């Protein structure tokens, strides 16, 4: 499945990955972004924290928790945090600044003065299995219910006693859906997810009478990733796949990251069936080699016999979420086909305060080369900013159901959506040059 010319290009690019990721994880940015260590749920988490005081005494402070996905660490959120940092610095400039004028256009509110007085406290942590002080050795400690406890405990440690806005990407988005649906104290004030749609809808797309067969195939690597010993099987072949793209982490640590899959699939959303080689080949012929690349890589590392899908019990399915919710889809994502009909065909009662925004991006939005231009990546950031800084913490609806964004498309494009290992090799290397 390796195409020589593509592999050569990616390997050259990925040679910088390890040093970039490592330096990004330990360095603190100049200004108001800092690295802090938060004790929560009996563990110690490494976090990036952004703080800006409210401009006016007594004005509210927006409190935001950001959950990263697999296998990107908290550094994935750095471009957005830097965007917010520069925004708040601009708010201290004269009122005719270009940033402020643009923001007025973005925020749909009768009172555009809100953002000019509010403060910001945002926290993005390396989550369980990623933080050195929060990586237990027992697989049973990697369950979504425990991740949810971590999130609420981190919010408490950060001082978010009255609630917070929740953002999640990739596995962090799936977890965010779960948290928002299992929030007995109503701590989550708004929900923003990127790449992963409502996991109840995705469960139905992966298994059952309404399964979307393209999504089933695109997600087939879930079967390999969720195995208890996925990082060490077959002489650590799956770990080696990632190491070949510059992901310099050994099997023991990588296994803890992969246990996220074991702790969620067939528990909180469905496990797809293991498909046949012929189905994967047909999918590749229809959609191109990039679409099938990672599915084939996982199957080569850990071959599996065909088997049926595993649905979840109705009692465990994530159901209605009433808080204001924004879902952002990259229409060129080849792993999570978030612009397929299954994402939008649902009863309004499931998500009554919901907006679906499509962008011409792949899976990673903020990373250079992942969208059709840097302006689109900025537009994603501005969309999130406008949503989070609206009056969501007052319980107001931000949008009816629908689709918006810079562009929308029903066509699966494959040039900017390479998932996981390819993202690591091809996009992360340009991290510090993106957008700013």
pLDDT tens digits, one per residue of 11-44: 323 332 333 333 333 333 334 799 999 999 999 9
pLDDT reading at 397 higher than 70:
no
- Say which range, 131-145, 265-279, 308-322, 408-422, has the weakest mean pLDDT: 408-422
What's the Cα-to-Cα distance from 212 to each of 19, 174, 204, 271, 342, rounded to whole Å? Answer: 39, 18, 8, 13, 7
pLDDT tens figures, 139-174: 999 999 999 999 999 999 999 999 999 999 999 999
pLDDT of residue 368: 87
pLDDT cut 90: percent of the chain above it? 68
Which residues contact residue 273 at a Cβ distance below 8 angstroms, ignoring those fewer than 6 apart?
Answer: 207, 216, 306, 307, 308, 309
Give the mean pLDDT of 409-433. Answer: 35
pLDDT tens figures, 198-218: 999 999 999 999 999 999 999
- Say which range, 89-93, 304-308, 333-337, has the weakest mean pLDDT: 89-93
pLDDT tier at 285, thresholds 50, 70, 90: very high
- 397 versus 69: the higher-pLDDT residue is 69
pLDDT of residue 1: 34
pLDDT of residue 181: 96
Task: Count other C-beta atoms under 10 Å from residue 190's C-beta.
Answer: 26
- 317 versus 44: the higher-pLDDT residue is 44
Helix, strand, coil percentages for the chain (3-state, nearest 5): 45, 15, 40
pLDDT reading at 432 higher than 50:
no
pLDDT of residue 88: 85
pLDDT of residue 231: 98
Which residues contact residue 115 at a Cβ distance below 8 angstroms, ignoring those fewer than 6 apart?
Answer: 91, 103, 107, 389
pLDDT tens figures, 237-257: 999 999 998 888 999 999 999
Strands lying side by side in the sheet with 33-40:
33-40, 43-52, 119-125, 61-67, 164-169, 188-194, 325-330, 354-359, 403-404
- Say which range, 122-136, 319-333, 384-398, has the weakest mean pLDDT: 384-398
Strands 164-169, 61-67: pairing is parallel
Give the mean pLDDT of 325-341. Answer: 96
Angle at 17 between CA 418 and CA 77, to 5 degrees: 70
Give the mean pLDDT of 62-75. Answer: 96
Which residues contact residue 327 at a Cβ distance below 8 angstroms, ignoring those fewer than 6 apart?
Answer: 192, 193, 194, 197, 198, 338, 343, 354, 355, 356, 357
CA torsion through residues 86, 87, 90, 92, sign: negative
pLDDT reading at 366 higher than 70:
yes
Give the mean pLDDT of 315-337. Answer: 93
Cβ pair 12, 426 in contact under 8 A: no
The residue with tokens 């690349």 is 293
pLDDT reading at 110 higher than 60:
no
Cβ pair 179, 76 in contact under 8 A: no
- 205 versus 423: the higher-pLDDT residue is 205
Verify cis geometry, omega within 30 degrees of 0, for the bond prior to 71: yes
pLDDT reading at 263 higher than 60:
yes
pLDDT tier at 5, thresholds 50, 70, 90: very low
Give the mean pLDDT of 410-432. Answer: 35
pLDDT of residue 406: 36
Q: Which token pair is 227?
A: 């195995």
Give the mean pLDDT of 206-231. Answer: 97
Distance CA 276, CA 316 (A): 29
Give the mean pLDDT of 178-192. Answer: 97
pLDDT of residue 105: 54
């Amino acid at each position: 499945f390796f195409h020589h010319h593509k592999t050569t290009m990616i390997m050259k690019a990925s040679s910088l990955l390890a040093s970039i990721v490592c330096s990004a994880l330990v360095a603190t940015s100049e200004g108001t972004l800092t690295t802090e260590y938060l004790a929560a749920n009996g563990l110690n988490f490494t976090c990036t924290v952004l703080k800006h005081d409210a401009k006016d005494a007594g004005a509210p402070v927006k409190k935001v928790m950001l959950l990263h996905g697999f296998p990107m660490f908290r550094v994935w959120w750095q471009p957005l945090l830097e965007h917010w940092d520069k925004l708040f610095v601009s708010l201290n400039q004269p009122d005719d600044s270009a940033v402020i004028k643009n923001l007025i256009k973005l925020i749909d509110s009768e009172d555009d003065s809100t953002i000019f007085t509010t403060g910001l406290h945002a926290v993005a942590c390396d989550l369980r299995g990623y933080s050195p002080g929060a990586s237990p050795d027992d697989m049973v400690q990697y369950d979504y219910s425990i991740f949810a406890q971590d999130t609420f405990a981190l919010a408490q440690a950060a001082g978010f006693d009255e609630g917070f806005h929740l953002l999640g990407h990739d596995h962090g988005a799936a977890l965010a859906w779960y948290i928002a649906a299992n929030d007995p104290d109503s701590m989550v004030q708004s929900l923003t997810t990127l790449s992963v749609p409502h996991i109840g809808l995705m469960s139905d797309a992966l298994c059952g009478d309404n399964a979307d067969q393209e999504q089933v195939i695109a997600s087939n690597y879930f079967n390999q990733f969720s195995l208890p010993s996925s990082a060490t099987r077959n002489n650590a072949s799956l770990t080696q796949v990632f190491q070949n793209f510059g992901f310099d982490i050994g099997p023991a640590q990588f296994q803890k990251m992969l246990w996220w899959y074991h702790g969620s699939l067939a528990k909180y959303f469905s496990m797809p069936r293991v498909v046949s080689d012929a189905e994967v080949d047909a999918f590749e012929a229809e959609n191109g080699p990039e679409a099938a690349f990672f599915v084939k890589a996982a199957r080569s590392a850990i071959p599996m016999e065909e088997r049926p899908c595993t649905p979840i019990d109705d009692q465990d399915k994530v159901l209605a979420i009433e808080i204001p919710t924004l879902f952002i889809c990259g229409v060129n994502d080849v792993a999570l086909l978030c612009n397929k009909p299954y994402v939008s065909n649902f009863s309004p009662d499931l998500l009554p305060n919901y907006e679906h925004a499509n962008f011409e991006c792949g899976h990673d939005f903020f990373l250079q080369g992942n969208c059709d231009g840097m302006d689109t990546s900025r537009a994603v950031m501005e969309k999130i900013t406008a949503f989070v800084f609206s009056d969501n913490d007052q319980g107001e609806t931000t949008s009816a159901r629908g689709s918006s964004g810079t562009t929308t498309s029903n066509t699966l494009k494959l040039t900017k959506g390479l998932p996981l290992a390819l993202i690591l090799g091809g996009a992360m290397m340009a991290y510090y040059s993106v957008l700013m």
